[in-house]
Chains A and B, each alone.
Chain A
């Protein structure tokens, strides 16, 4: 039995999907692809692994899967599409630094400690809009994300909008303080105060940080801070969000959006807009994205860009169960030989689904 279970079981957190759920997920992915193509995006296919040296040197690396090839080179599995797509396009952009619309589908791999039920392998569909500067593209990315959710048949979802520069702007020199960022990320005012005081931050900053968890809601959270004393960087971030909000409102497209000024960036490359989509029935975010204007710096390029990705498994959880069903197939008994084959081919030629198999008792 012991040997059997080792042979049969995949590592915890890997993806195994078969049956109606897989069909539904595939259907959702196709709907998303249609939206992306509808906005002029073209599929890009990138490697599933790369040299370890391409990975960032920050905290995210704890989640990387690493392997060694036969020549002793350390490799890592793709943990995130944005970096891989950026690297894939860098040479092309060096030749001609133009606008590119790329969309993708594939798996990412991120280690997660066991016992929490987290998946280490996730299927994503997303897009990267390269050389897309400014608020109009931010707004368009949000609208496309919303269109993707609608195309997947998902209602009641909310998109939560934040800005990578706001919390960091308020923190100033303390922007690298892991404990403080953790407390902000958990929206834990007691802990925020405790850590900020210990760091000797000014009383005004401590109170502002402590109140950030309350700055989640409609557009009013932006105006509530309009007259508050803020460091320049935080003020600039707030102004950008207010501009984005005004743009969306002017276009009449402001519905279903929440703002969260306490949002801490999960990826170091985010430089402006950040957003996540949630659904009341799914415990984790359906997807998210943001602006990354500095990611191409390492390739000697100045490229403003924005992108997002959705987790297909979570979309399938949030989507209605009845999606993606076609007409019922016609059964054809395989025992019929040439007649059966001809019948199957005729049905297929008429565009009908066929089940060729053993006759049912």
Chain B
């Protein structure tokens, strides 16, 4: 039996539907259960329900052989994992957003660009490439307000439809990456349990986009 880390919350519901299509229906609803582990009805998988930001760590450490993780989380944490399949759901874009017209406050012409994000590492990497001074603030939620109220010039965040941005008078300035849910696999498990991992990979691949 392989253990598969599943991020709770937004992704869990979509993951559940997807896994059902692939033939790995959970024994009880993943989005509602309070249990931390749930087997699949077929007995080939055990689901490990964890916070989205923790899922890659469980797989990297080998506690779970495989996992589902949003590309946004993978970009932020840069775990040492195999990422053999784009599962195609939970699609969104990682973007740089801000007010339509950038106003630099103060009289220091060399003042750094201020960026607020739940993804400080992604923001850091992106702005470092530009070669201009910048400062990144880590926020835990409601990132938009950072740009609206002038905490930062820009925010780096994921957007699905863009409604939240529009309602707050913000626009997308740049797209950093397209994100979706990914299958991640522990390096050792990939080789040491190749047949089981291959079977899972084949079945999930067949369910992508179906």
User: Residues of A with Cβ closer than 8 Å to B?
Assistant: 116-117, 156-158, 160, 186-191, 213, 216-217, 258, 260, 276, 278-285
Among the 9-residue stretches B11-19, B79-87, B102-110, the one with 4 or more Cβ atoms under 8 Å from chain A is B79-87
Contacts of A158 in B (CB 8 A): 191-192, 194
Quick check: A187 and B194 within 8 Å, CB to CB? no
Quick check: B186 and A283 within 8 Å, CB to CB? yes
Contacts of B60 in A (CB 8 A): 116, 283
Quick check: A190 and B188 within 8 Å, CB to CB? no
Chain B residue at minimum C-beta to C-beta distance from A285: B188
Q: Say whether B61 faces chain A, with CB atoms less than 8 Å apart.
A: yes
Cα A150 to Cα B160 in complex, Å, equals 52
Quick check: B84 and A213 within 8 Å, CB to CB? yes
Additional A-B contact list (9), CB under 8 Å, known A116-B79, A282-B62: A116-B80, A156-B192, A186-B81, A186-B82, A213-B82, A213-B84, A278-B187, A280-B192, A283-B62
Quick check: B84 and A258 within 8 Å, CB to CB? no
Cα A260 to Cα B190 in complex, Å, equals 11
Cα A117 to Cα B57 in complex, Å, equals 9
Q: Say whether B166 faces chain A, with CB atoms less than 8 Å apart.
A: no
Q: List B138-189 residues whose CB lies under 8 Å from chain A.
A: 185-189
6 contacts between A and B (CB under 8 A): A157-B192, A189-B84, A216-B190, A280-B188, A281-B62, A284-B188
- Min CB–CB distance B41 → chain A (angstroms): 24
Q: List B67-106 residues whose CB lies under 8 Å from chain A.
A: 77, 79-86
Query: Given known contacts A279-B192, A280-B193, A285-B188, is B57 in contact with A187 (CB within 8 Å)?
Result: no
Contacts of B81 in A (CB 8 A): 186
Q: Encode contact with A along B54-70: 1 for CB under 8 Å, 0 otherwise.
A: 00010011110000000
> Which residue in A116, A187, A280 is a CB contact (below 8 Å) of B82?
A187
Cα A263 to Cα B189 in complex, Å, equals 15
- Min CB–CB distance A274 → chain B (angstroms): 13
- Min CB–CB distance A122 → chain B (angstroms): 15
Do most interface residues of chain B lie in helix, strand or loop, or is the interface mixed?
mixed
- Min CB–CB distance A53 → chain B (angstroms): 27
Contacts of A190 in B (CB 8 A): 86
Chain A residue at minimum C-beta to C-beta distance from B195: A217
Contacts of A284 in B (CB 8 A): 62, 187-188
Quick check: A283 and B188 within 8 Å, CB to CB? yes
- Min CB–CB distance B129 → chain A (angstroms): 13
Query: Given known contacts A117-B61, A285-B187, is B83 in contact with A187 (CB within 8 Å)?
Result: yes
Cα A282 to Cα B65 in complex, Å, equals 10
Cα A241 to Cα B82 in complex, Å, equals 24
Cα A258 to Cα B194 in complex, Å, equals 9
Quick check: A282 and B188 within 8 Å, CB to CB? yes
- Min CB–CB distance A270 → chain B (angstroms): 17
Query: Given known contacts A117-B57, A284-B62, is B191 in contact with A278 (CB within 8 Å)?
Result: yes
Cα A279 to Cα B185 in complex, Å, equals 14
> Which residue in B82, B83, B191 is a CB contact (below 8 Å) of A160?
B191
- Min CB–CB distance B103 → chain A (angstroms): 34
Quick check: B189 and A188 within 8 Å, CB to CB? no
Quick check: A116 and B57 within 8 Å, CB to CB? yes
Contacts of B187 in A (CB 8 A): 278, 283-285
* A-B pairs with lowest CB-CB distance, top 8: A283-B62, A280-B192, A188-B83, A278-B188, A187-B82, A190-B86, A278-B192, A278-B191
> Which residue in A116, A186, A189, A260 is a CB contact (below 8 Å) of B191?
A260
Contacts of B186 in A (CB 8 A): 283
Chain A residue at minimum C-beta to C-beta distance from B63: A283
Cα A117 to Cα B83 in complex, Å, equals 20
Quick check: B83 and A279 within 8 Å, CB to CB? no
Cα A144 to Cα B112 in complex, Å, equals 57
Cα A160 to Cα B190 in complex, Å, equals 11
Contacts of B82 in A (CB 8 A): 186-188, 213
Cα A276 to Cα B188 in complex, Å, equals 10
Contacts of B194 in A (CB 8 A): 158, 216-217, 258
Quick check: A186 and B83 within 8 Å, CB to CB? yes
Contacts of A276 in B (CB 8 A): 191
> Which residue in A191, A217, A280, A283 is a CB contact (below 8 Å) of B83?
A191
- Min CB–CB distance B33 → chain A (angstroms): 26
Cα A158 to Cα B79 in complex, Å, equals 23
Contacts of A278 in B (CB 8 A): 187-188, 191-192
Query: Given known contacts A186-B81, A189-B84, is B191 in contact with A216 (CB within 8 Å)?
Result: yes
Cα A283 to Cα B184 in complex, Å, equals 13
Contacts of B86 in A (CB 8 A): 190
Name, among B63, B79, B192, the residue most crowded by chain A CB atoms within 10 Å (CB to CB): B192
Contacts of A189 in B (CB 8 A): 84-85
- Min CB–CB distance B91 → chain A (angstroms): 13
Contacts of B84 in A (CB 8 A): 187-189, 213
Chain A residue at minimum C-beta to C-beta distance from B184: A186
- Min CB–CB distance B17 → chain A (angstroms): 21
Cα A276 to Cα B194 in complex, Å, equals 15
Chain B residue at minimum C-beta to C-beta distance from A276: B191
Name, among B63, B79, B190, the residue most crowded by chain A CB atoms within 10 Å (CB to CB): B190
Chain A residue at minimum C-beta to C-beta distance from B193: A280
Chain B residue at minimum C-beta to C-beta distance from A279: B192
Name, among A157, A190, A191, A285, the residue most crowded by chain B CB atoms within 10 Å (CB to CB): A190
